[in-house]
Structure 1
Amino acid sequence: MAEIKSNAASVEFRNVTKVYGKSTVPAVKGVSLFIQAGKLVTLLGPSGCGKTTTLRMIAGLELATRGQILIGGSDVTRLPATDRDVSMVFQSYALFPHMTVRENVEYGLKFSSFNKRDAGGKAQAGLDLVGLSGFGDRLPSQLSGGQQQRVAVARALVLEPQVLLFDEPLSNLDAKLRRHVREEIREIQQKLALTVVYVTHDQEEALAVSDRIIVMNNAVIVQDGTPRDLYDQPANAFVADFIGEANILPCEVVAVEGDVANVQLGPVSLRIPARTHAPGSARLAVRPNRVQVTSPESENTLLGTLDKVTYVGSHLELVVRTPLGSLFAVTPDVDLAVEAGQAVGLGFAGRGPVLLSE
């Protein structure tokens, strides 16, 4: 029986820049990155940051203005898309409406060395892999959005590419379906040890599926790391605010002892990782779930007044007015006896606040 195999290869950018036409503003500027074979790496950032252009340069749909692109160690910088062993899953699915599901999946195989029988077996293996075994004779119009997206994934998988690319693949699906399909994509990627480069502007999606996340802004990479690295140790205010929510607060680094900084946050004293900071004014980020709501009489707390308390089922969302500005806090204690107008104290978990570079 036919099966889908992995031909996973690494991807490398060496100081790559892309400028469109006569523009003086690069879409991608001096980007260097390395994606290990068999890993899922997400390019994340706001619209216009350069992530889709980077993806299209891997595919060969755009050619780099300067720099070098390697796939599996081979220089593909000047190769067109047709000469790269890369498959792409588009946001729009791009299925042929007059073809059956099986014919859509077989389509790319017609231009390879597969005969009709082998192509049919490969297509069926692809449909089995994405959970659409009995859907081969249906037309795309007879499928849900999530099923159509899985057909597009199967069509890309059967070509057994060195690199599989996803361009905002879930943006047309509702929230619950997005979660289900992203789990399927991650499961397939891990099962086959595929090299996947995934583009999204959805932070939760990126955190859920990625081995690594490359955050881009204004055509450059601003941080590259694991989902936990980026969430717990954001490099700057942009990353802190873009990867989940964060309270960005002014503080004073009073002293640095080795790798530990003594920090004054209003009346609150903290000892946290220095992250190369010297004494002086600074800013720190605190995730809402790392803010501890306590009694205003508690020691080493920031006093505030509750402006808003919102029950959202699994947790409470709190907006607290303080001398340092408005803070957003989240607590899983949905039975916490608090109400708007009440005075509270705010404490900060030991692993909560993070000093930011400017």
Structure 2
Amino acid sequence: MTDIKGKAASVEFRNVTKVYPNARVAAVDQVSLFVEPGRLVTLLGPSGCGKTTTLRMIAGLEMVTSGQILIGGEDVSALPATDRDVSMVFQSYALFPHMSVRENVEFGLKFSGFAKQEIGDRAIAGLKLVGLDGFGERLPSQLSGGQQQRVAVARALVLEPQVLLFDEPLSNLDAKLRRHVREEIREIQQTLGLTVVYVTHDQEEALAVSDRIIVMNNAVIAQEGTPRDLYDAPASAFVADFIGEANLLDCEIRRVDGETATVALGPVTLSLAARGLPVGPGRLAIRPDRIEIAPAGTPNSLPATLKKVTYAGSHLECVVQSGAGEIFAICGDVDAPIKAGDAVGLSFPARGPVLIVP
């Protein structure tokens, strides 16, 4: 039996720009990035930010206007898609409805110079790898959405590409199935050591599957880092609000000592990472689950009044009015004795507020 193996390669963009004919602005503007071999990196951002164009340029489905794309250290900027060792899994799955599952998986292999027996063996191995052993003679219409997605993954994997690309692969699945299939994709990627570039606009999906996330906005990279880096320390209001929810509050940076800033949020004094910001007006991003609702009058807390308390099963969702503005907070104690109209104090743990670029 043939085994499917990974042959991971790096992906690098060097000042890549893509301008479509008659377009007023660039779809991708001077983007430089590096994807290490064997890593899953997600391009995340809103519609129109440039993430899908970036993916299509890796695949060779779009050609660069300027700059270089390297795969495995080789410049492929001028190569067509057929000459790049890259496979792509599309949002629509793109399965042939009149072909069996096995024939769909074999389709690309027939153009790759393999003998008939090798093609069959690879197809069987690919289906087994994605948990569809024994489904080879079925038609795509006889499979669930999640199973069809796995057929598309198997078809890409059997070619043993240097880079595997996913374009919004879960957008056609319901919420429960999305979680299951993304776990399968991540497991296959890690088992085979594949280099994967994954596009989504879903921040929860990106946090769950990625080694690293590249957040794009308006054709450029807004920030990149590990999922924890981006969630814990967003650099801007856009990143803070796009990856999870965040309260964006004005503050005053009173003093900067090296890498530490003393920050005032109303009567509350905070010691935070300065992040290169100077003394003066500042901006804070605070995650709702990193705010503590304390009794009114608690030392170093922000006086506030509860406007709304909503039971959400595993937690309480609280809308709070304070001198710093309206704040959304999540309370993990569903039995907390709080109700709308109560005076409270808002406290902020050390890992809570983050200074961002105003």
TM-score w.r.t. length of structure 1: 0.99
Measure the CA separation in 2 of the matches of 1:350 and 1:249: 17
Q: Could you tell me which residue of structure 1 aligns to residue 339 of structure 2?
A: 339
Q: Could you tell me which residue of structure 2 aligns to residue 20 of structure 1?
A: 20
Letter in 1 for 2:100: T
1:76-95 equivalences under 5 Å are 76-95=76-95
Deviation at 1:200, TM superposition (A): 0.1
Measure the CA separation in 1 of the matches of 2:197 and 2:220: 17
1:217-296 equivalences under 5 Å are 217-296=217-296
Q: Could you tell me which residue of structure 1 aligns to residue 10 of structure 2?
A: 10
Measure the CA separation in 1 of the matches of 2:203 and 2:314: 20
1:1-358 equivalences under 5 Å are 1-358=1-358
- CA displacement 1:325-355 (0-9 Å, x = unmatched): 1111112111111111211110001111100
SS at match of 2:146: helix
Measure the CA separation in 2 of the matches of 1:313 and 1:89: 36
Letter in 2 for 1:306: L
* Structure 2, unpaired ranges of 5+: none
Q: CA RMSD in A?
A: 0.7
Measure the CA separation in 1 of the matches of 2:294 and 2:164: 49
* Structure 1, unpaired ranges of 5+: none
Deviation at 1:140, TM superposition (A): 0.3
TM-score w.r.t. length of structure 2: 0.99
Deviation at 1:305, TM superposition (A): 1.2
Deviation at 1:17, TM superposition (A): 0.3
Deviation at 1:24, TM superposition (A): 2.5
Measure the CA separation in 1 of the matches of 2:321 and 2:147: 47
Measure the CA separation in 1 of the matches of 2:312 and 2:109: 49
Measure the CA separation in 1 of the matches of 2:220 and 2:259: 29
SS at match of 1:156: helix
Measure the CA separation in 1 of the matches of 2:121 and 2:341: 67
Measure the CA separation in 1 of the matches of 2:142 and 2:43: 32
Measure the CA separation in 2 of the matches of 1:295 and 1:258: 34
Measure the CA separation in 2 of the matches of 1:129 and 1:321: 53
Measure the CA separation in 2 of the matches of 1:319 and 1:209: 31
The count of corresponding residues between Structure 1 and Structure 2 is: 358
What is the identity percentage for the equivalent residue pairs of Structure 1 and Structure 2? 73
- CA displacement 1:14-63 (0-9 Å, x = unmatched): 00000000223000000000100100000000000000000000000000
Measure the CA separation in 2 of the matches of 1:227 and 1:291: 20
Letter in 2 for 1:153: V
Letter in 1 for 2:46: P
SS at match of 1:55: helix
Measure the CA separation in 1 of the matches of 2:194 and 2:316: 39
Deviation at 1:239, TM superposition (A): 0.4
